Structure 1
Amino acid sequence: MDGFPEGAPCWADVTLPDLAAGKRFYGALMGWTFDDDAEEQYGFYTNAFSGDKRVAALVPKRDGRMPTAWGVYFATPDAKALAVRIRAAGGQLVTDPVAVPPYGTMAVAADPGGAVFGLWQAGSHTGFEKIGEPGAFCWTEVYAREPEGADAFYEAVFGFEGHDLEGTDGDFRTWSPAGSEPGPDTAFGGRSLLGDSFPAEMPDHFLVYFAVGDCDASAAKCVNLGGRIIADPFDIPYGRMAVVSDDQGASFAILQQDRPVP
């Protein structure tokens, strides 16, 4: 794909205790294939491919304190400058920008509510090579208990153009690139309310979505592979989705798209 504008989701990876099991699970569920030459110096970071297109990565845990979770990365041409803006807006740097030659520069940050996300300044690794097709990333959103604070943070840091989705009473807000006309036609992510229907102990977090051809069949297959269904398949204006977790506990969403989201 062409380069990503600043703030666009450009990459996703999952940290797992058992890399080989993760390859079996996602290979069977999503049809992914994987690098044969992951490098020890980068912790055996393993790219996943749909067809011959790079779509995500699997990362073996270095220690038990790391969460088993999917993470999303936002594109930036200057990770150090973006880190300054994150701190100024009340966020934190979990990992300061670090060069990963020749692939790029990465950092990990948290917003004021504690939701963790990555930054990626591309080098030879430009991010997703396919988006919005079965087997590939298609959407992300942050779940926040204080939506006004989350909106202010992301719109200040990235210049996102926010748009409250009609009929949601402000519980769901889409993000469009800086300088674009805000709304469904340009949105690439969003913010959802982490309300009373969620467990009180659940922290603010990002949810990563992958497109599938058949949501119900994919959810059933996830269970057959040892995963579980967190939210049963249900219809939304853009298709049919479910929230699931893999057989090691990392949660993600699957979406059968009838039209682009949102």
Structure 2
Amino acid sequence: MMPHDSTHGIGTPFWIETLQPNVSEAVEFYGQLFGWTVDDPGADDSVLVARLDGRRVAGIAQAPDAVPATWLIHVRVDDTDASIAEAQAAGGSCLLPSLERGSGGRVAILADPSGIPFCVNDGQSAKGVEVAGETNTWSMASLHSPDGRASQRFYGALFDWELHEVSGAPFSRWSLDGHTIGLLSDAGDAPAHWAVNIAISDADTTAALAVSLGGTVVLEPFDTESHRNVVVADPAGAVLACSAAVD
């Protein structure tokens, strides 16, 4: 599994956040599933900060009305409003206009030409994850797209991402300035989405625990060459991929 690039430069995915209809239920679920604790955000921010051993790992926020529970990646940009215009010019759309975030900067939810949502954030003071690639933290972002060429054009135009084929693998690799920042694979029969992947120690244990906490198993544990994986959904339906490295 590739580690997430934690430099948080412009064009880099730097934060993950789940939108939830019931924030307290989500806090309870992820606290027991991954051992996360949650900060009080204070009066100036509506996003709860989840931590593992005191380090920032994710955000948990109230979903706007009629928005289903989901996980989103955040990409750092120079100017959120400019990114909205650039995304629209490249065939994407704006799902939620830019909003001031208490932690600094403006945040917007965009969609690529296939309708896959993601966030942009121009706050240089906005804090990203403090740890990635370790057990119970964000490990990878993978775009499951119905049109790889359209995705390559869009994200290349918006963020200067480059796409590289991986010999013998069913996915390609996104890079920025020579650093790997994610993957691209064919969505196939699955819904198109940005998959947030969490590193775990045991896929079967995670699957059983998710169910016991009121979640569901979307994709039963399965093996790849280097990992045992499972896809789960929390009680509100937000989907999360989880992978355990195989020795």
TM-score (norm 1): 0.85
Question: Match for 1:29: what amino acid?
Answer: L
Structure-1 residue corresponding to 2:241: 253
Judge conservation of contact 2:6–2:132 (CA < 8 Å) in 1.
Answer: no
1:88 to 2:89 alignment: yes
Measure, in 1, the Cα distance between the counterparts of 2:219 and 2:110: 28
Kindly report which structure 2 residues correspond to 1:168-247, keeping only aligned pairs within 5 A, or say none.
168=169, 171-177=170-176, 179-180=177-178, 186-196=179-189, 198=190, 202=191, 204-247=192-235
Structure-2 residue corresponding to 1:53: 55
How much has 1:96 moved relative to structure 2? Answer: 3.0
SS at match of 1:188: strand
Measure, in 2, the Cα distance between the counterparts of 1:38 and 1:222: 29
Sequence identity percentage:
30
Question: Match for 1:52: what amino acid?
Answer: G
Kindly report which structure 2 residues correspond to 1:57-206, keeping only aligned pairs within 5 A, or say none.
57-63=59-65, 65-168=66-169, 171-177=170-176, 179-180=177-178, 186-196=179-189, 198=190, 202=191, 204-206=192-194
Judge conservation of contact 1:143–1:206 (CA < 8 Å) in 2.
Answer: yes
Question: Match for 1:46: what amino acid?
Answer: L
How much has 1:2 moved relative to structure 2? Answer: 6.2
Question: Match for 1:94: what amino acid?
Answer: L
Measure, in 2, the Cα distance between the counterparts of 1:256 and 1:7: 28
**Which structure has the higher relative contact order (CA within 8 Å, separation 6+)?**
2
Measure, in 1, the Cα distance between the counterparts of 2:92 and 2:187: 19
> Cα gap change, 1:255/1:38 in structure 2, threshold over 3 Å: closer, same or farther?
farther
How much has 1:74 moved relative to structure 2? Answer: 1.0
Measure, in 2, the Cα distance between the counterparts of 1:237 and 1:79: 39
Question: Match for 2:152: what amino acid?
Answer: D
Question: Match for 1:244: what amino acid?
Answer: V
SS at match of 1:25: helix
Structure-2 residue corresponding to 1:183: none
> Cα gap change, 1:62/1:148 in structure 2, threshold over 3 Å: closer, same or farther?
closer
Structure-1 residue corresponding to 2:37: 33
- Give CA-to-partner distance per residue, 1:98-126, whole Å, 9 cap, x none: 33244222111110110000012234332
Judge conservation of contact 2:41–2:47 (CA < 8 Å) in 1.
Answer: no
Question: Match for 1:9: what amino acid?
Answer: P
Judge conservation of contact 1:38–1:45 (CA < 8 Å) in 2.
Answer: no
Unaligned runs of 5+ in 2: none
How much has 1:37 moved relative to structure 2? Answer: 4.1
TM-score (norm 2): 0.90
Unaligned runs of 5+ in 1: 181-185
Question: Match for 2:80: what amino acid?
Answer: A
Give the count of matched residue pairs.
243
- Give CA-to-partner distance per residue, 1:152-201, whole Å, 9 cap, x none: 11122111121122224xx5221011x32xxxxx32212211113x3xxx
How much has 1:16 moved relative to structure 2? Answer: 1.4
